[in-house]
């Protein structure tokens, strides 16, 4: 049986606005100043902010078109994943309609450029992936209608 981890405790002395909060732990001692008010943001507010930010990223991506197809690459289903970390770095996994696509050398760079233009974005990394292979099933209903698949 492993020994129990030591419990962290907060100093029990009264704290004046100019005094730091001291968290005592066997492994760590951290001093947190409390000179300024602390704002606590509810997770639902954070979720809304992240969703709005992701919406701006998607809006930017939606301005990029494969020159051979009159549908933006987001509706076309070429964007497989958008991951935004706490520093607003955006990592995108995307594919192309075919490995022989003539815009393979430029389309990922176009995506990187438009996403980097979104206010608040840190860094942008676009990864070109081939698994799973793209198929028309990945298109939105609007794209399928536009291209006559429905």
* CA atoms of 126 and 46, how far apart (whole Å): 25
Name residues whose C-beta falls within 8 Å of residue 13's C-beta, 6 or more positions apart in sequence: none
d(CA 78, CA 91): 14
Q: Length of the chain in residues, anyone?
A: 150
pLDDT band at 11 (very low <50, low <70, confident <90, very high): very low
What's residue 92's pLDDT? 97
Residue 104 pLDDT level (bands cut at 50, 70, 90): confident
Rounded to two decimals, the pTM is 0.68
Q: What is the pLDDT of residues 29-88, one digit of tens each?
A: 455 555 555 555 455 766 788 889 999 999 999 999 988 899 999 999 999 999 999 889
Q: Provide the 8-state DSSP code for 136.
A: G
Phi, psi for 53 (deg, rounded to 5): -65, -45
Name all domains of the chain by residue range, CATH numbers in brackets. 8-38 (no CATH), 43-146 (3.30.300.130)
Report which of 71, 87, 90 is spatially closest to residue 144, judged by C-alpha positions. 71
Strands (E), 33-134: 79-84, 90-94, 124-128
- Residue-wise pLDDT for 126-144, tens only, equals 999 999 999 999 999 999 9
b/e 50-89 (16+ beta carbons within 10 angstroms → b):
eeebeeebeebbeebbbeebebbbbbbbbbeebebeeebe
Q: What is the pLDDT of residue 86?
A: 84
């Amino acid at each position: 049986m492993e020994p129990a981890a030591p419990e962290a405790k907060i100093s029990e002395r009264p704290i004046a606005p100019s005094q730091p909060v001291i968290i005592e732990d066997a492994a760590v001692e951290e001093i947190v100043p409390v000179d300024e008010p602390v704002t606590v943001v509810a997770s639902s507010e954070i979720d809304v902010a992240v969703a709005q930010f992701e919406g701006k990223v998607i809006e930017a991506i939606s301005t990029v078109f494969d020159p051979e197809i009159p549908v933006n690459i987001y509706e076309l289903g070429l964007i497989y994943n958008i991951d935004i970390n706490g520093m607003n770095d955006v990592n995108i996994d995307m594919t192309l309609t075919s490995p022989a696509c003539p815009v393979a050398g430029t389309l990922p760079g176009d995506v990187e450029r438009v996403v980097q233009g979104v206010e608040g974005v840190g860094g942008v990394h676009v990864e070109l992936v081939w698994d799973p292979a793209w198929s028309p099933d990945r298109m939105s209903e609007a794209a399928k209608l536009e291209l006559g698949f429905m």
